[in-house]
Structure formats: structure tokens, C-alpha cells
Amino acid sequence: MMYANYRKPVQRQANPEQVPAVDALRAVLPALGYGDAKFANDLLGNFAQWGRLSEKQLHWVETLTARGLAPKQAPIAQVTVDFKNIQDMFDLAGKTLKRIKVKLQAVGGQAVVFNRAGPMSKYAGQVMITDGLPFGENKFFGRIDVTGEFFATRNATQEVCELVKEFSEDPAGTAGKYGRLTGGCSFCNHGLKDDRSTQVGYGPVCAKRFGLVWG
């Protein structure tokens, strides 16, 4: 029987002139956003494999390092909303549900999803607002802290901000509007089938779980 020759990978020596720049990038990784961190890890992987980077790659190493070192501006509250209405609704639903999400739709069709951060999160108890896509692929619109301040990101359009305010003032009415508009329940994402559910905008089970008027 013939065996293929095994060739041990060549260990390439790192370019000593590039090591400080690569180490600086590695040090700021925790400060980078998802996309920048992914790109930075690719660059670090290339350096580990080949021992050197091209001029273009080295330029990006320096650019990403500068982004990681740049001072972060404190978020500014976009608007103050009535957090208690949302909080009460989530508290009641939390007695029977482990994961709570409320899906709405802004003017123009943008999906907007509200969920409350878990106890292990740095934003525990706060309402996080995204477009509902998986983490890393989603748009993060901002968060509502327990004082009722809505800290919006640059992803949050005026339409999204207006929807956040509307939902905080009238959770049931806003959820019902979504259901009547799309034919689907904001809370369970199931289609509305009977006449009463279609008229109200959500079904009797979700109404009971979230403390909303139905019958």
C-alpha cells in the first residue's frame, strides 16, 4: 500500500517590522464593532500564517487600530418615552414566556422588534430594539433604559423613532395596528384566523399573556 507523503507546514518567521502594528491591532480588538473585528481577525490570521502582510493589508491594520483607539462618544437620548407601559407588559408575559419579542412595522415597511435584555446582559432589564435579524446580521436601532430614555443609534430613522414613541404610549393599540395591517400577531408571529382576532390585531392567548383587552 502506498501512502501519500506528509509535508509538515512551513513555519514562516514573522516580519519583525510589522509585529508592533499587528500587536497594536490585537490589543484593540475588544473595542471594535462586529464587522471591523471580523476583518481584523482575518488580518491577524493572515499574519500568523504568512508572517507578513502586504502594504494594503498593513494600511488596514493601522486604520482599524485607529478606530479601536478613538474615544467613544457617550450615547445621547433621542427621546424620553413611557417605559412603564412596556415594562408592565413584559413583566406579565415573563411569567409564562422565557423569550419575549414584539414585532412591529414602521412607516415604510421597516421591521422593528422589541425584546428585553436578560439578567446576564450589561443592559439587563432594558428593552433592546432591532430589525429582528440574527445577531451580527441585524440592525440595532437602540435601547430604552429603565428611566424611559431611548438611546437611538444612527440606524434608527425618524420613522423608527416615532414608532418607538407610539409603542411606549399605547402598546396594545400599536400591536393591534400591526396585526390588522399584516394579518400576523405581533407577539407570536402567527397568522390571525378568526374574525375577532383579525379585528383586534392579536389573538386571545397573546392578549391574556400580555395583559391586553381582547373580548
Tell me the pLDDT tens digit for each residue of 27-68: 998 888 777 888 999 999 999 999 999 999 999 999 999 988
pLDDT at residue 5 is higher than 60: no
Given this model, what pLDDT does residue 1 score? 47
Averaged pLDDT for residues 154-160: 88
pLDDT at residue 11 is higher than 60: no
pTM of the full structure: 0.63
Most distant CA pair in the chain, distance:
79
Query: Strands, E, within 3-100: which ranges?
Result: 77-80
CA angle, residues 80, 84, 90, in degrees to nearest 5: 120
Q: What is the DSSP string of 165-186?
A: HHHHH-HHHHHHHHHHHHSB-T
Instruction: Report the DSSP beta bridge partners of residue 113.
Output: 103, 130
Position with higher pLDDT, 107 vs 136: 107
What does the pLDDT look like over 158-179, one tens digit per residue? 899 999 989 998 999 999 999 9
pLDDT > 70: percent of the chain: 91
Instruction: Report the DSSP beta bridge partners of residue 140.
Output: 130
Distance CA 111, CA 113 (A): 7
pLDDT at residue 72 is higher than 70: no
What is the DSSP-derived secondary structure letter of residue 16?
Answer: T
Domain extents for the chain? 19-69, 77-210
Averaged pLDDT for residues 124-150: 88
Among the ranges given (23-37, 73-87, 88-102, 135-149), the one the predictor scored with the smallest mean pLDDT: 73-87
CB neighbour burial string for 64-79, b if at least 16 within 10 angstroms, e if fewer: bbeebeeeeeeeeebe
**Backbone phi, then psi, for 71, in 5-degree steps?**
-65, 135
